[in-house]
Structure 1
Amino acid sequence: MATDYDAPRKTDEESEDSIEELKTRRNDKNSGKVDEDEVEAAESFELPGADLSHEELTVRVLPRQADEFTCYSCFLVKHRSQIAVTRNGHSYCVDCAD
């Protein structure tokens, strides 16, 4: 919503809204909220240290591409343009070369 900062502001005397009107508007805004079942909401939360032994993780490993390398210091896969130095046959990225 655009606001015209050059327009004159309303003073308290010019305001036509009564306290009762404002209270009913506030109540109307809250009436549109959806009640959520607490049990269903709690099931979606993962607690730290929770037992995840029954969960299964599926990972698809892609082969190394011709234009990629793995930094010997941080072990991140990066583009060949990120090679800063190669020592003893090991490549280091720009971030780890210092």
Structure 2
Amino acid sequence: MATDYDAPRKTEEELPEDSIEELKTRRNDKNSGKVDEDEVEAAESFELPGADLSHEELTVRVLPRQADEFTCASCFLVKSKTQLAETRGQEMYCVDCV
């Protein structure tokens, strides 16, 4: 919420003095409008237009390891040899993990 810092401020006399009972009822009123909703149930009922992919089949082609690639021993991502920072025995580590 934006605040106008140039606006005149209210003095102590202008601020309303609320009793503790009034404050408690206001707090209860604010919470009464909240609805408990199951996130999973809400996600299942929400559908994007044209999002029915049940008849689709996923095909993935796995390429063999290339000569200029390595798999980081820490993050397990395949990286280019230019990202190689350190080798400890047989294990190679990328610049992001060192």
- Taking structure 2 as the reference length, the TM-score comes to 0.43
